[in-house]
Amino acid sequence: MMKIYYEDSMPYAEAFFSTIGECQAFSGRSVTPADIEDADLLFVRSTTKVNEALIANCQNLKFVATATAGYNHIDQGYLKARNIPWYAAAGCNAVAVAEYVLSALCVLAERYKWTLADKTVGIVGAGQVGTALAKKLDALGMGYVLCDPPLQDAGDERNLGSLDDVMQCDVISLHVPLVKNGAHPTELLFDAARLGQLSEQQVLINACRGEIVDNAALLAEFEAGRQLKVVLDVWQNEPNISQALVPYIALATAHIAGHSLEGKANGTEMVYNAACDLLGLEKRQHLQALLPPAQPAEISLPSTDLSWQNVQYLIRQIYDIAADDQDFKKRIATVGQFEYIRKHYAIRREFAAVSVKAGNCALSQAIFGLGFKTIN
């Protein structure tokens, strides 16, 4: 029988993978080569570094997959040298990250007395997450600029802007992979020079990779007295992040932007589907059969008038980033808390899990466009 090892932070892993073979869970923080040496299939999340040190003795290994969109923890060169196919669940948490950004915008709008309709968003990275965010901004009627030089070079037919265009936007939201070399590197894309170009009225959101923003340069900006508005979900040197930087951040969280139940579970299902395709097996398990109802499963708006207050109320009913920010800032000073907060995060639901009783009003179309189910 096929021997499958999977990281214990993958939701519904046993339900999916037991249809393929014999399953064994492991902790990504403590797994040793001896623990998995008889693996046929190895399924991980970003906590597990899949490299020669871990899998050199896995002589039966036929497939490696990560249930995450990112794959910097996978040694692609080593797997290629051994002719072991691998897979990453690209886009699994795209909707969750887009909804994280929307929650941040709602909280900041309330804090700074903005009208969101007046703001433009520069989206750096027009892949899965950037596209998901753009669709939700479309539903709200908010203006945005998509920027993705690699996709532009590849002939993407969308109207893509430049980074200079993005720098003119009220909000700049980063959704790029970590790329260290080549024509379009993203490492330290927001270095001291680019951070210095930000005005105190702009917002910078990083919910992709910590290494995209120079955290030391950002701290220097704050210590020089600049009142920048920054949202950070990802940090350089995780989990040993800059403690000095945290108090300056408008909204700070522990790399959980994509940690909705659906986002994490999508990754599990996508790994399962990829394994079935590779092995020529029937897909006998489906995520929708496993997801529990949301709590609450239905929300009634306090008013059916078309208003930004209604939209902001609705978004924050499902996910309120302010609560995560408060918890993070209270607990992060203790050593080891970054990993603990992330590992024990109370996974939230996505908009699509909730029905909204909005009545027959103009707001219904926007609510539906955001991903909610609507009830007249």
Whether the predicted pLDDT of 343 surpasses 90: no
**312-338 mean pLDDT:** 93
Count the residues in the chain: 376
Q: List pLDDT tens digits, range 262-303.
A: 999 999 999 999 999 999 999 999 999 999 999 989 998 876
The residues that are catalytic are 209, 238, 255
Q: List pLDDT tens digits, range 229-271.
A: 999 999 999 999 999 999 999 999 999 999 999 999 999 999 9
Residue with structure tokens 């996505």? 350
Whether the predicted pLDDT of 197 surpasses 90: yes
**7-17 mean pLDDT:** 96
Q: Write the CA distances from 243 to 54, 140, 221, 236, integer angstroms.
A: 31, 36, 15, 11
Q: Tell me 213's DSSP state.
A: B
**71-97 mean pLDDT:** 97
**31-51 mean pLDDT:** 96
**321-330 mean pLDDT:** 97
Q: List pLDDT tens digits, range 144-196.
A: 999 999 999 999 999 999 999 999 999 999 999 999 999 999 999 999 999 99
DSSP string, 141-170: T-EEEEE-HHHHHTT--S--B-HHHHTTSS
Whether the predicted pLDDT of 222 surpasses 70: yes
* Amino acid making up residue 77: G
User: Token pair of 307, please?
Assistant: 């208003």
CA distance 265 to 226: 40
Q: What is the mean pLDDT of the chain?
A: 94
| pLDDT score recorded for residue 106 | 96
Q: Write the CA distances from 250 to 53, 126, 204, 253, integer angstroms.
A: 40, 25, 10, 10
**117-137 mean pLDDT:** 97
Whether the predicted pLDDT of 328 surpasses 80: yes
The answer to whether 146 and 160 have CB atoms below 8 angstroms apart is yes
Whether the predicted pLDDT of 365 surpasses 90: no
Q: List pLDDT tens digits, range 346-356.
A: 889 999 999 99
